[in-house]
């Protein structure tokens, strides 16, 4: 009986498939932990005091691809009449992969008009940027946006 050996191409394809199969659990774990780490969950819990976080009311404008993580433009607007009965009380910006994930925390009053703001943030690599808003009735809303960063900032906790 004649033995048929695989070609070099078939051998390389098999090796790549095996490598991908072995690496898949690690990639999935890394993706699920980004923004959902235990430390990040503790931070969310301490900020919201365990309140349920709803989606909606927040619009984020941020580039999908940022060449430089040292200064990424960010625009936030929140759908709120800013009246005495209904207004944004607190706005929080979180960056889960930064050494210090709490980027900013701002307080507002009904005396503010429509909430539109623009700023620049430092990002330590590609990640989901989170914006949380606490309304006057103490309910919380959130929105996140994915950002791919080619040059990271915030390499240490300074």
pLDDT tens-place string over residues 54-99: 999 999 999 999 999 999 999 999 999 888 899 999 999 999 999 8
Q: Are 93 and 134 in contact (CB under 8 A)?
A: no
The pLDDT value recorded for residue 35 is: 42
The pLDDT value recorded for residue 158 is: 52
* Tens place of pLDDT per residue across the chain (158 aa): 677 777 877 777 777 766 666 555 544 444 444 446 888 899 999 999 999 999 999 999 999 999 999 999 999 999 998 888 999 999 999 999 998 999 999 999 888 878 999 999 999 999 999 999 999 999 999 999 999 999 888 766 55
The pLDDT value recorded for residue 19 is: 64
DSSP state of 114: S
The pLDDT value recorded for residue 6 is: 75
For residues 36 and 142, give the distance between their C-alpha atoms in angstroms, rounded to a whole number: 14
The pLDDT value recorded for residue 25 is: 53
The pLDDT value recorded for residue 152 is: 85
Distances (CA, A) of 2 to 5, 9: 10, 21
Looking from the CA of 22 toward its CB, the CA atoms found within 13 Å total 6
H helices, E strands: number in the chain: 2, 9
Every domain range in the chain assigned CATH 2.60.40.2470: 38-149
CATH architecture of structural domain 38-149: Sandwich (2.60)
Distances (CA, A) of 45 to 51, 134, 144, 156: 8, 13, 17, 24
Interior angle at CA 30, CA 26 and CA 33, nearest 5? 135
The pLDDT value recorded for residue 32 is: 41
Q: Tell me the two tokens of residue 98.
A: 């930064």
């Amino acid at each position: 009986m004649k033995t048929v050996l695989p070609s070099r191409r078939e051998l390389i394809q098999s090796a790549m498939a095996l490598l991908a199969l072995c690496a898949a659990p690690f990639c999935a774990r890394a993706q699920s932990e980004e923004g959902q780490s235990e430390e990040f969950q503790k931070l969310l819990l301490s900020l919201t005091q365990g309140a349920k976080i709803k989606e909606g009311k927040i619009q984020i404008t941020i580039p999908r691809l940022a060449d430089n993580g040292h200064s990424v433009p960010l625009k936030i607007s929140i759908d709120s009449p800013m009246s005495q009965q209904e207004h944004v009380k607190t706005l929080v910006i979180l960056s889960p992969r930064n050494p210090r994930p709490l980027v900013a925390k701002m307080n507002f009053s009904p005396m503010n008009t429509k909430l539109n703001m623009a700023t620049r943030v430092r990002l330590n690599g590609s990640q989901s940027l989170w914006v949380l808003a606490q309304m006057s009735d103490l309910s919380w809303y959130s929105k996140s946006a994915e950002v791919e960063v080619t040059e990271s900032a915030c390499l240490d906790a300074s």
